[in-house]
Structure formats: C-alpha cells, structure tokens
Structure 1
Amino acid sequence: MKVLAFAASNSKSSINKQLATYAANLVDNSEVEVLDINDYEMPIFSEDREKELGQPEQAKAFFKKLGEADAIIISFAEHNGSYTAAYKNLFDWTSRIDMKVFQNKPMLMLATSPGPGGASSVLAAASGSAPYFAADVKASLSVPSFFDNFDVEQGKLTNSELVDKLTTAISLL
C-alpha cells in the first residue's frame, strides 16, 4: 500500500507534519511518501489568474501524487479556526483540474495544535466537505495539546488513549 501523507501547513517546523508522518509510518506493509506543500506553492488563486496561467504544473503534480496513492493522510493546521492559506490555495488550484480532488481514496484526517482545541474546528470543516471532493474519509482524529501528547524527540504520540484511537483509525485504511 502506498500512503501519501502531508500537513496542510507550510510551516517548516509543522507539528501537523510530524503527526501525519508518525501516523503514516504506523500503516503496516506500506510505502510512505511525505509531501511538503511548500513544494507546490503558487500565486493566490483567482479566476483572472486561472485565465492568465491556465493550470499550474504544481497543481497538476499535486493532483497526480494524490492519484498515485492508495491512501491519504492529512493533518490540518488551524489558522483562525480555518484552513491555512497555503493549503486552501493549493486545494483551490487543484480543484480546478478536477473537482474530485481526492479521487475516491481512503483517507485519514488529523489535526493538532499546541492548545486544548486540537484544531478541531478546521478538522470538522475538512471532514465535512471532503466527500464533496471524492474523499472516502475513513476516520478523523484531533490531537489536543500537541506538546503534552507527542514526544518530538522520539517522534511519537505518548498519550495511550490517543495512540489507541489513531491505531483504530489507521486500521480502517
């Protein structure tokens, strides 16, 4: 199984990338590819830019990566209760290639933040809208208080209840 994982964040020290990477590596007998959405940076989407530029190569490459995966794991950072601008822009450009952005792939949607909310607002929005974009969301999980529940040095969750929930979620892929 080829698992594609990424954080919906352009932070170079993204805690969501750490979580997505950790989760992807828990999938048994899998080949894991971790993307950095910074590699897909494009001008801010608008209809005018689309007319001018067409479909940028970065959006085409991202769409192709999603299509080549057998399963997708995304961990969402939350900016003011919503998607990061970097992810939203990448998603908007990619959706213009094909509204079925996620190409019916089984998905695990995660989110985390340093605070107790665990980016649950953006996770709820992402999980709720994903089926409209051909996502087969198998599970979602918010990890609150990242630094209290994740050992950055060892790169793993330390909260046994969250580990159990994540393991159950991964088994659905």
Structure 2
Amino acid sequence: MAQILAFAGSNSSTSINYKLVRHTVSLIADHKIQVLNMANFPFPMFSVDLEAREGYSNSLIELKNDIQTADGLVLSVNEHNSYPSAYFKNLLDWLSRIERKFLLDTQLLLMSTSPGRRGGKGSLEASRSMLERFGGTIAATFSLPSFNDNFDMEKGIVDDALRAQHSEALQTFLSML
C-alpha cells in the first residue's frame, strides 16, 4: 500500500482544481491517501529578508515532511494568465528553500483544469518543468478543459473521452508507485 498526498495548487476556497483532486482520489482504492485543502495554508510571499528574519513556519516544514514521506502526489494546478498562480509558485519557492530536491523519488500525477477550453495547459506545462527541477517524476498528466461543462459534482467527469483519458493517467500513476 502506497502513501499518496493530494492537493491543488490553489488556495481558493472554491477551487475547481481541488474538486478535481477530490474526485481523482475518490477513485483510488488500497492506498493510504491524505488530502490537503491549501486554502488552510496561508503562506506569506517569499522573500530572503523574511526567510532570514523568521525562518520557516511549522506548517511549511510539516508540508515538506508530508511530501517527502509520500510515495506519490496527486496535484492539480490552477492557471492565472496561462501560468501557475502566484500562490503555487510561492509555495514552491518556500519548499525549495528548505530542501532543493524536496520531491526526490516522488511520483506525480499532475493535472490541471480551468473554465476555459485549454484546461490550464499553460500552467500544467510550466509546473511540470518546475516540479521536475525539484526532483519529482511526472508519471502522468491530465488536463480537463471547460470544467463547468465537463464535470459534475456527483458524476465526476461527464465526457466519455475525457473520463477515459483521466482513468488512463490515474492508472499509469498508480502503476508507478
């Protein structure tokens, strides 16, 4: 049984990426899963002055430890103007200051969704590059376009082709654990 940590790269209380994460982990059996709602993790903007003055918060150190004890991460990144949100970039900045390769030996299912037709693909690609830099292995990716048209809170992904792509990405990720 693998340990899986799941969260969205968004700190919004209404995050559609968090909804996609919750749906995805609901499909996983026989693994230990920890889901984090990043709306509960209000990290300050990174600055070397703040780091020197205050160091690292307990919640940041605990998050890094949770990431490093996990065998895999289910992560869905939001998109602001075709790039990862400032919140997610800030989170990576803080984590990488504690330990540069904080994702070493960690398999990732990297996803994105947005209300638009591109499904957060710009953010997904930029995030992929950053996460690999910190030692993560991207086992599979999935992008869900037009979230409001293609997702139902009770049924999950409603488009057959997209549901099949999601299932394939999830199975690929799970096979790498």
Q: TM-score range by the shorter chain?
A: over 0.9
Q: CA deviation at 1:122?
A: 0.4
1: CA distance, partners of 2:32 / 2:26: 8
Paired position in structure 1 for 2:70: 69
Letter in structure 2 aligned against 1:164: A
Answer with 84-93 or 103-112: which moved more: 84-93
Query: What is residue 156 of structure 1 aligned with on the other side?
Result: 156
Gap regions ≥5 residues in structure 1: none
State the distance in 2 between where 1:71 and 1:161 align.
25
Task: Give the AA of the match of 1:169.
Answer: A
1:25–1:32 contact (8 Å) kept in structure 2: no
Distance across 2 between alignment mates of 1:151 and 1:47: 43
Which structure 2 residues correspond to residues 4-153 of structure 1 after superposition, within 5 A?
4-152=5-153
- Return the alpha-carbon distance in structure 2 between the equivalents of residues 4 and 109 of structure 1: 12
SS in 1 for 2:93: helix
Q: Per-residue deviation at 1:155?
A: 5.3
Provide the C-alpha distance between the structure 1 equivalents of 2:59 and 2:42, rounded to a whole number of angstroms: 7
Kindly provide the amino acid, as one letter, of the partner of residue 62 in structure 1: L
Q: Which runs of 4+ in 1 moved over 3 A?
A: none
Q: Which amino acid aligns with 1:18?
A: K
What amino acid is aligned across from residue 48 of structure 2 in structure 1?
E
% same residue: 33
Q: How does the TM-score come out when normalised to structure 2?
A: 0.91
Q: CA RMSD in A?
A: 1.3
Corresponding pairs, count: 172
